[in-house]
Amino acid sequence: MEENFLIVGLGNPGKEYANTRHNIGFMTIERLAKHFSFDWQVNKKFTTHLARGDQDGKSILLTKPQKYMNLSGKTVAPLAGYYKIHAERVMVVVDDLDLPLGSLRMRPDGGNGGHRGLESISECLGTCSFPRLRIGIGRPDRKQEVSGFVLGQFSQDEMDRVETVIETASNQLSCWINQGLQMAMNNYNGDLFPNK
* Partners of residue 54 on adjacent β-strands: 59
Which residue numbers are catalytic? 22
Is residue 100, in this structure, part of any structural domain at all?
yes
CATH value at residue 184 = 3.40.50.1470
Beta-carbon count within 10 A of 14 CB: 10
Q: What is the DSSP letter of 174?
A: H
State residue 144's pLDDT score: 79
Distance in angstroms (rounded) separating the CA atoms of residues 39 and 28: 15
Into how many domains does the chain fold? 1
User: Does some domain include residue 157?
Assistant: yes
Query: How many C-beta atoms lie closer than 10 Å to residue 43's C-beta?
Result: 15
pLDDT of residue 1: 52
In a domain, 129, yes or no: yes
In a domain, 196, yes or no: no
Q: Are 111 and 128 in contact (CB under 8 A)?
A: yes
pLDDT for 156: 85
Tens-digit pLDDT string for the chain (196 aa): 568 999 999 999 999 898 899 999 999 999 999 999 999 999 999 999 999 999 888 999 999 999 988 999 999 999 999 999 999 999 999 999 999 999 999 999 998 888 889 999 999 999 999 999 999 998 877 777 888 888 899 988 898 899 999 999 999 999 999 999 999 999 999 999 987 5
**Residue 42 within a domain:** yes
Residue 14 lies in a domain: yes
| Helical ranges in 39-115 per DSSP H | 73-82
175 is in which domain, residue-wise? 3-191
C-alpha closest to that of 106 among 167, 172, 168: 172
